[in-house]
Amino acid sequence: MKVQLLSYTKGAEELCAAAAQSCYSDRPASDLLKGMKGKRPDRILENIVGMGHHSVIEHATYTFSVEGVSRALTHQLVRHRVASYSQQSQRYVSMDRADYVVPPSIRENEGAEREFRKLMDRIWEVYRVLSETVEVEDARYVLPNASSTNITITMNARELRHFFSLRCCNRAQWEIRMVADEMLRLAKGVSPSIFKDSGPPCVRGKCLEGKMSCGKPRRKELKKV
């Protein structure tokens, strides 16, 4: 699995802070942005986002390339609707090569891994036969959730914070959590004040999972990210 930050809003903190101030000023955001030098955009954002005015951070967007992940992961990912996605096609890209993700729990169990790989080999054998006899778009119906894929994602900072809140949680599935953790690390690297307290609710305070709580707050772990 590989996660890369392809593009992001430069000066996101200054931009969002100027947009926030423009709500309460007789000056437009263009003037306020020029005057942002030497000011503390992090304090402006902390204050305004803390008041629940989250829309101001929607002006910052981030584009990630997520590579070599399973279709099981991307199925969960695309449930996040306030985002843009471009995913590798199983119709236009040759799927002849058996390329799949093996979950760690299966890799660590010799017997399970043997059975898993045996089934994958058989699936791709059938896929290759089918793709020569019927349309590729139909042959792909036999491909598994484990099939490897690439996806490009664009989210704004507000949606990213929401995504991190759900998917950096220990209760999220391991693969999407690994991707979310890496996306958080990359986003925090370029916009530290927007993402400084980002992550599951236990990073900011109390866990919301009730009886389902893992009991292992990620506060310290994600502070280092």
Q: In the beta sheet, which residues pair with residue 64?
A: 5, 153
Closest approach of ligand FAD to the CB of residue 173, in Å = 7
Q: What is the dihedral of CA 27, 33, 34, 39, to 10 degrees?
A: 110
User: Which of 71, 158, 161, 167 is flagged as catalytic?
Assistant: 167
Amino acid at 112: A
Q: Using CB atoms within 10 A of its CB, is residue 150 exposed (0-12), middle (13-18) or buried (19+)?
A: middle
Where do contacts with ligand FAD occur on this chain (CB under 6 A)? 79-82, 159, 162, 166-167, 171-172
Closest approach of ligand FAD to the CB of residue 46, in Å = 22
With beta carbons less than 8 A apart as the criterion, state whether 150 and 4 touch. no
Closest approach of ligand FAD to the CB of residue 155, in Å = 8
Closest approach of ligand FAD to the CB of residue 130, in Å = 29
Pick 29 or 66: Cβ nearer ligand FAD: 66
CA 133 remoteness from chain centre: 37
With beta carbons less than 8 A apart as the criterion, state whether 199 and 166 touch. no
> For residues 78 and 84, what is the distance between their CA atoms, to the nearest angstrom?
9
Pick 102 or 166: Cβ nearer ligand FAD: 166
Active site residue 117: no
Q: In the beta sheet, which residues pair with residue 147?
A: 100
Pick 41 or 200: Cβ nearer ligand FAD: 200
Q: How many helices (H) and strands (E) does the chain have?
A: 12, 4
Pick 158 or 188: Cβ nearer ligand FAD: 158
**What are the residue numbers of the active site?**
167
